[in-house]
Amino acid sequence: MSSTLLTAEIPDQLDERKHSQRPKKIGFVSLGCPKNLVDSEVMMGLLKQAGAELTSNAEEADVIVVNTCSFIDCAKRESVDTILEMARLKAQGRARKLVVAGCLVERYRDEIQKNIPEVDAVIGTGELARILAATDLAGTNSPHKNLQEQRSPFVILPSRPEAEARWAQGRFSRTTWDGASSELPTYLYNETTPRMLTTPKYCAYIKIAEGCDHPCSFCIIPQLRGKFRSRAMASVMAEAERLVCSGVREITLVGQDTTCYGEDLGLEDGLAFLLKQLAAITDLQWIRFLYAYPNKITPRLLETIAKYENICSYIDVPLQHASPSILRRMKRGGGAEVFLRSIERMRRIIPNLVLRTSFIVGFPGESEPEFEQLCDFVRHAEFDWMGTFAYSDEEGAAAYSLDGKLPAAEIGRRRKELLRVQRQVSRKKKKALVGKKFRLLLEGPSLETALLLEGRTEMHAPDIDGKVFINDVPEGRSIVAGEFFDARITAAHDYDLIAEIL
């Protein structure tokens, strides 16, 4: 997560406005996950189409937009700090407007407006097209002039039975939130929505679905993002084909739960079917999806990953815990035994599978033996990559009212301990890669030292996993960022690898 302003290449002749004003300059900060980044790219695309110019220099921006994250405590703090930092810039500099968008708005709409008077407009996750009105660009030639017009081409599908059942159980209720509208976001972009990519020109995210119907008791994403809804497959395909035509070689599919893709469209194994279609796109070298739900990984999905060379042998499945009793209280189900069986099946069907997961430590009532069970599970499962979050109390989440809250210091200790366990697993796994050959996507000079280049293999999803540093390139070989090379791993650290280009 970073609070630097996003930049993107801006084509020359976009401003078809009749008047001769200089284009409005917009500074954009995007916080949080790739799903939020896609929302930022859609808002930037709408602004660009309306004739605005994006700037990476906050000092010269007429309008500053902060797209916030509200996932856990530290993400909220980062969002608020960034808004305050941009409010200071607005007070001292040229900016006339400060706009706040994203999850924090869905959760704290009134509080932001009441407590930070420098904020001129707020935009929820379902109101992306309001960015034009908020920046005084509504009424330009954009076909997405306001929310009403923007909504019309978007097909809002009826939600699935799970959503209706959860609705009846109060899963989507926001009534305890101060100032929150009771209307859930229903927005979902499509292939005709303008979008300005901020990722390197060879890779892009595609959001295939939005919202979530799962009942996880620690999570308020369903209240923030609404019921689960999938984009039409034709829309995803059209966007993917256009991206590949423009030079994209790696596509990462995102959504709160990608493995439910298509259920609301009446598709069985929708994600597997979508992956198969994407795999047929010539020149698309790597396809992967993030955020699988454990019991939605079907044999057909695994077989599809195994069958197509350009579908990365990579699964990111956040398991959240391994103790059956904790998972029950998390309202997720499963446990170490079930998970180990399912991991064994995944590895059997997909040779060389790379597995990523994440866990929450310090969930209310987590006893020492339950935590130990999680550590043992991590030792046995041998994940390639693992993220760990300290439990954070979210008002409005079912876990908020559970007894047995643990002191922050104890949660911190357990988090450190789990990371220590995984460091040992990772060291062993990375060491076993030394001497092996991989296709490597070169990303350019290393951000850590100018003496090295940096790249990724199919084991590394953009931005979240470790890195591959390249310290040896054959003499006279021209090396261009965004190109694929054959490489050999020559050394391994706990998480990062060193490679030579062959």
User: Nearest distance from residue 157's CB to ligand SF4, in Å?
Assistant: 18
Residue found by looking up tokens 């791993």 in the block: 489
φ, ψ for residue 252, nearest 5 deg: -115, 120
- Give the residue with the Cβ less far from ligand SF4, 257 or 458: 257
The answer to whether 24 and 52 have CB atoms below 8 angstroms apart is yes
User: Nearest distance from residue 321's CB to ligand SF4, in Å?
Assistant: 12
Does the protein bind ligand SF4 through residue 254 (CB under 6 A)?
A: no
How far is 100 from 98, CA to CA, in rounded Å? 7
User: Which of positions 203-222 make contact with ligand SF4 (CB under 6 A)?
Assistant: 212, 214, 216, 219, 221-222
User: Nearest distance from residue 143's CB to ligand SF4, in Å?
Assistant: 31
User: Which of positions 451-480 make contact with ligand SF4 (CB under 6 A)?
Assistant: none
Q: Binding residues for ligand SF4, how many (CB under 6 A)? A: 9
- Give the residue with the Cβ less far from ligand SF4, 292 or 461: 292
User: Which of positions 337-366 make contact with ligand SF4 (CB under 6 A)?
Assistant: none
3-state secondary structure labels for all residues of 355-397? EEEEEEECCCCCCHHHHHHHHHHHHHHCCCEEEEEECCCCCCC
- Give the residue with the Cβ less far from ligand SF4, 219 or 440: 219
- Give the residue with the Cβ less far from ligand SF4, 3 or 358: 358
Q: Look at the alpha carbons of 188, 189, 191, 193 in this order and tell me if their dihedral is positive or negative.
A: positive
Q: Which of 321, 261, 335 is nearest to 291 (CA)?
A: 261
**Residue 445 pairs with which residues in a beta bridge?**
453
The tokens describing 426, both together, are 């990772």
Residue found by looking up tokens 């949660």 in the block: 411
- Give the residue with the Cβ less far from ligand SF4, 214 or 288: 214
User: Nearest distance from residue 296's CB to ligand SF4, in Å?
Assistant: 10
Q: How many CB atoms lie within 10 A of CB 219?
A: 24
- Give the residue with the Cβ less far from ligand SF4, 50 or 224: 224
Q: What x/- string results for residues 161 through 200 when contact with ligand SF4 is judged by CB under 6 A?
A: ----------------------------------------
Among 30, 125, 150, 256, interactor with ligand SF4 by CB under 6 A? 256
Q: Which of 60, 134, 145 is nearest to 99 (CA)?
A: 134
User: Nearest distance from residue 368's CB to ligand SF4, in Å?
Assistant: 25
User: Nearest distance from residue 490's CB to ligand SF4, in Å?
Assistant: 38
Whole-angstrom Cα Rg for the chain: 23
How far is 367 from 363, CA to CA, in rounded Å? 9
User: Nearest distance from residue 94's CB to ligand SF4, in Å?
Assistant: 39
- Give the residue with the Cβ less far from ligand SF4, 207 or 214: 214
User: Nearest distance from residue 261's CB to ligand SF4, in Å?
Assistant: 13
Does the protein bind ligand SF4 through residue 257 (CB under 6 A)?
A: yes
User: Which of positions 222-251 make contact with ligand SF4 (CB under 6 A)?
Assistant: 222
User: Nearest distance from residue 359's CB to ligand SF4, in Å?
Assistant: 12
- Give the residue with the Cβ less far from ligand SF4, 391 or 485: 391
User: Which of positions 420-449 make contact with ligand SF4 (CB under 6 A)?
Assistant: none
**Residue 157 pairs with which residues in a beta bridge?**
none
User: Which of positions 277-316 make contact with ligand SF4 (CB under 6 A)?
Assistant: 293
- Give the residue with the Cβ less far from ligand SF4, 394 or 454: 394
User: Nearest distance from residue 323's CB to ligand SF4, in Å?
Assistant: 17
In sequence order, what are the residues at sequence separation of 6 or more whose Cβ sits closer than 8 angstroms to the Cβ of residue 133?
121, 146
How far is 165 from 14, CA to CA, in rounded Å? 46
How far is 53 from 291, CA to CA, in rounded Å? 33
- Give the residue with the Cβ less far from ligand SF4, 120 or 210: 210
Q: Which of 237, 258, 190, 194 is nearest to 34 (CA)?
A: 258
The tokens describing 256, both together, are 């709160």
The single-letter DSSP state of residue 105 is H
How far is 344 from 381, CA to CA, in rounded Å? 9
Per CB under 6 A, residues contacting ligand SF4 are 212, 214, 216, 219, 221-222, 256-257, 293
